[in-house]
Amino acid sequence: MQMKNILNKHKILVITSGILLSSLISFSLINSSLFNENNVKEETESKVDSIAEVNQNKEKQVVEDRISIEINEDNENKNEKSLSALADNEELSDDNIEKTTSSKNNKENSSTTSETITGNKYTVKKGDTLFLISQRANTSVNKLKTVNNLYTNTIREGQVLYLSSNANAPTTEIPNRGSQRDEDIYWLSRIINSEAQGESYEGKVAVGNVIINRVNSPKFPNTIKGVVFDKQNGYTQFSPVIDGTIYNNPDAYSIKAAKDVLNGSRPVGDALYFLNPRKSTNFWIVENREHIKTIGLHDFYY
């Protein structure tokens, strides 16, 4: 009986110890679980915080990038405006230069066309007309035409005009046909007048020079009249013979030029041909003869 009580007593102790041990184990497990949960929670919170921080950094970087882009775009716009303003300034500068140049040219032209002409002769310049020259020389167009034996209002750059009758201007003297010299002057002055109308005095003498060279060449007739009316291979040599202007009375300068040529003036040497390249259709001369000189609108060839 006593043994039974002892066993029961120890049984109670064992049971109690088991309960305590079980409780301790459960408590340990609970604590471990709670610890693990806390760790997991902390790790999770740490990861969440880390992700949030990353996202925050990304958002910050996006904002910074956007601000940088906006700043760059703003700078580009400013640069474009600066370049545009610079281009506008350059265009304005070019325009001002052009306007200044144009104004300067206009002033120079205005000065040239408004200057009073003094003296007894005047060399025609680009843009001149008989009317403008008469206004500046305080004379009339008809008087200029009379003094210079002009039959039209056509004048050319480089042409010398006499403004009044004086010793330097040749007098009108229609050559008479009589002696051989008179005959030569008669036809030579007419071919000069019709071929070199409006040319400079040198240009007139040069045409006469060619006629005399042909007279002296075995390839052509041996008289001035013969050369003027000559036909080479059936073709009339000078167009004034065809259109009839050869019979017009020569002006005083053509008569003077004819006399100078007969007296030995030779501005184009041994030239045998001349043509106006702007009007001529005879390219044989250009292709087969040697060019010597150009005077006014005429080219002269050997």
Condensed to tens digits (0 to 9), the pLDDT of residues 83-111 reads: 555 445 544 444 554 444 444 444 445 44
Amino acid at 91: E
Give, in degrees to the nearest 5, the angle at Cα 231 between 203 and 223.
65
The predicted pLDDT at position 66 comes to: 65
Q: Are 273 and 210 in contact (CB under 8 A)?
A: yes
Q: Please tell me the predicted confidence (pLDDT) of residue 193.
A: 95
Mean pLDDT of 279-283: 76
pLDDT of residue 111: 47
Mean pLDDT, the chain, rounded, equals 75
More confident call, 149 vs 133: 133
Least confident of 60-74, 212-226, 282-296: 60-74
Nearest to 211 by CA among 202, 201, 223, 199: 223
**Percentage of residues in the chain having pLDDT higher than 90:** 34
CA gap 273, 279 in Å, rounded: 15
Beta strands in 79-168 (DSSP E): 121-123, 160-162
More confident residue, 198 or 25: 198
Dihedral over Cα of 201, 205, 206, 211: its sign: positive
Res 182 pLDDT > 70: yes
Place of tokens 């008569």: 255
- Segment 18-46 shows an average pLDDT of 56
């501005």: which residue's tokens?
Answer: 267
Which value, to the nearest 10 degrees, does the dihedral of the CA atoms of residues 57, 62, 68, 69 take?
170
